[in-house]
A and B are shown apart, each in its own frame.
Chain A
């Protein structure tokens, strides 16, 4: 941490330039009129199995995987491993649910979840709620990516005192903003391929070379205090960490494909078959994610937090510094540059996809719907570009206002909000029994309760200990809020239907949901 790591930085910069050049050339790839929103924002809706695999994988291999999850495993042990069941169960869910959404979206030209809700429930207010939630929830998730880039830049010695201390963060932000603005979704789709190649090399090195240097996986697990290796078991009066683990996994899995950017990945594919094939293939990512999570234990086994040279880094970035420190300690400088480029580009691509998706949402469902109904073509895509900048600024605000010991809390916070659109979007795919005003009331309840619980935890934790009949059940805030959301939605819907309040016109028909 003393001075700049020149070799690492040179390799890092070279890879970054390569990727950036590719990004600008992406504008010419499968040339199309980027002043059209569906071209800028959905790549023309014709990505096949391979590109979709990379795009969806890009959502998973992010700073979340490389920095945030290992940091939680490093700091808190087994609980951080919830990311594993989370990714395992998200694919079966996608397999069943998302082809329905793709079909109905294709039939009616929907490109966002809010479009679908608008058509299904004939309610501009509900669509606005879904759109606004998507934009809000995306911001902390992008923030996590910026933290990832910031940490690796800092780890290479790009840092300073005073206002210069924010240099890595500003750098991360500028890189991201500059390159999405130009090419839209084409940039991340093309870069995702290069990015994955760099990442596979890094992951392979990390999960083979590091364990061999530490004496194998057995030695790594042996170096971790046994109590840290499993969840605190239930005691009389409390469920311990078990309920937290399961609810974090389930809540994250249900939330994953509600995020605007995941839907972008799904909807830009060329058909339900592509989605189903991918759901069967993507678990390959889960396996590697599990190995990467174990980097947290490798950092413990390597005692990186006791290396004097890393003291500064841990002080500045907390446990989020554990993987960069491990790489610095284990790899030669040139490979550190390579691996850090993998992490940074791996954060950049999803951040770009996220901000584009949130921008689509703003333009389609807020700007066009409520502000400028007549806008089209160039004005529309310009509005989207400005919105994507605004979302990135929002992400920056999250980093500055709520500094997190564990970066993963940013993503979990986003999950608390986005999961509140589950009843309208996912339940809505199957039934219209829930009344539009009931759904809106449920959403308001879930958002209020979720935000209140998050505030009670100072926005720094997302496991809320619910007390039921003297039993303490620690669980993911997002799920508690969703339960309240659904309960209110059901009760209010029943009441409104009983009184005979109109539920609007359904623009979709049952056969629209099938292939």
Chain B
């Protein structure tokens, strides 16, 4: 039970990654001409979706 409960804590990670602006408020390094500010945040769509999927499969069927 206890371990199942811990899985959702993973979902705090996207909040930190996207809300702490100093992590990404700069133009460099660019990738393919796209400033860091933008590709960094696009990257978080994938990370957040992956984390959510992990938590989904880890807790599926568990009585929460």
A contacts, CB < 8 Å to B: 78, 81, 84-85, 88-89, 91-93, 95-96, 99, 216-219, 221-222, 226, 229-231, 233, 242-243, 245-246, 249-250, 273, 276-277, 279-281, 283-284, 286-287, 290, 294, 514-515
Contacts and interface: CB of A to CB of B under 8 A. Distances in A.
A447 B21 CA distance: 28
Contacts of A92: 11-12, 14-15, 48, 51-52
B36 to A, nearest CB: 9
* Consensus secondary structure, chain B interface: helix
Contact of A276 (B15, B49, B56): B56
A129 to B, nearest CB: 28
Given A89-B14, A89-B18, A231-B25, A221 B49 contact: no
Nearest to A243: B21
A98 to B, nearest CB: 12
Contact of B25 (A96, A230, A249): A230
Most buried by A among B12, B14, B46: B14
A242 B25 contact: yes
Nearest to B13: A92
B18 A85 contact: yes
| 3 closest residue pairs by CB, A with B | A218-B33, A92-B11, A85-B18
22 contacts: A81-B38, A88-B41, A88-B45, A92-B11, A92-B51, A93-B11, A95-B52, A95-B55, A218-B34, A221-B30, A226-B27, A229-B27, A229-B35, A230-B37, A242-B21, A279-B56, A280-B56, A283-B46, A283-B52, A284-B49, A286-B48, A290-B45
Contacts of B45: 84, 88, 283, 286-287, 290
A271 to B, nearest CB: 12
Contact of A95 (B11, B19, B32, B46): B11
Given A95-B55, A280-B52, 19 more contacts: A81-B37, A81-B41, A85-B19, A85-B44, A88-B18, A88-B41, A89-B14, A89-B15, A92-B14, A92-B51, A95-B11, A230-B27, A230-B35, A231-B21, A242-B22, A273-B60, A283-B45, A283-B46, A514-B64
A249 B18 contact: yes
Nearest to B34: A217
A245 B42 CA distance: 16
A242 B25 CA distance: 8
Contacts of B60: 273, 276
Most buried by A among B25, B32, B37: B25
Contact of A249 (B8, B19, B33, B42): B19
Most buried by A among B8, B19, B21, B32: B21
A95 B32 CA distance: 34
B49 to A, nearest CB: 4
A407 B6 CA distance: 41
Contact of B53 (A99, A243, A280, A294): A280
Nearest to A95: B52
A238 to B, nearest CB: 14
Nearest to A229: B35
A249 B33 CA distance: 25
A463 to B, nearest CB: 14
